[in-house]
Amino acid sequence: MKRVTGIGGVFFKCQDPEKVKAWYKDHLGLDTDQYGTTFEWRLAEEPDKKGYTQWSPFSAGTKYFEPSQKEFMINYRVENLEVLVELLKKEGVTVLDAIESYDYGKFVHILDLEGNKIELWEPVDEKFEEVVDGKTN
């Protein structure tokens, strides 16, 4: 069974998310919105299908990364999240919450061996595209 299929997002803490997004827009050309920016790409196995990676600066005081004390969190794209979570539990991995489902995919959070919080996402890229289009139009 395939587990991680790619990077779904990079999230990091900063003092002023709005200024950081503006800096990245001005100096690196990122097309930012209230969430950060979304990179669109094509799936290698199915080049007619789009995939997405989210880049998002969070406020330094965010509690979203807890219980990790790190300044970042990585979101990994996965296949078959329910089966993967059961395997991870059997392997002794700390699963922090129940799987949550949205139109654009399923999510769960785990901790790695050093206490870094990781977000696992089983995407529904077609629905995520609708969310992205709704944010930018």
Average pLDDT over residues 93-108: 96
Residue 124: per-residue pLDDT: 87
- DSSP single-letter state for residue 3: -
Average pLDDT over residues 53-81: 96
Q: Taking the model in full, what pTM does it have?
A: 0.88
- Domains of the chain by start residue, with CATH: 4-136 (3.10.180.10)
In the block, which residue shows the tokens 């790619």?
6
Peptide bond into 67 cis (omega under 30): yes
Is 60 exceeded by the pLDDT of residue 115? yes
Q: Is pLDDT larger for residue 110 or for residue 1? A: 110
Contact 35, 81 (CB under 8 A): no
CA distance 8 to 54: 6
Q: What is the tens place of the pLDDT at every residue in 116-137? A: 999 999 998 776 776 667 654 3
pLDDT digits (tens, 9 = 90+) for 6-61: 999 999 999 999 999 999 999 999 999 999 999 999 988 889 988 899 999 999 99
CB 77 within 8 A of CB 4: yes
How large is the average pLDDT for residues 79-93? 97
Residues 6+ apart with CB under 8 A from 132: 38, 40, 52
Q: For the chain, what percentages of helix, strand and coil (3-state, to nearest 5) are there?
A: 25, 40, 35
Q: Which run of H or E residues covers position 131?
A: helix 125-136
- The reported pLDDT for the residue numbered 137 is 37
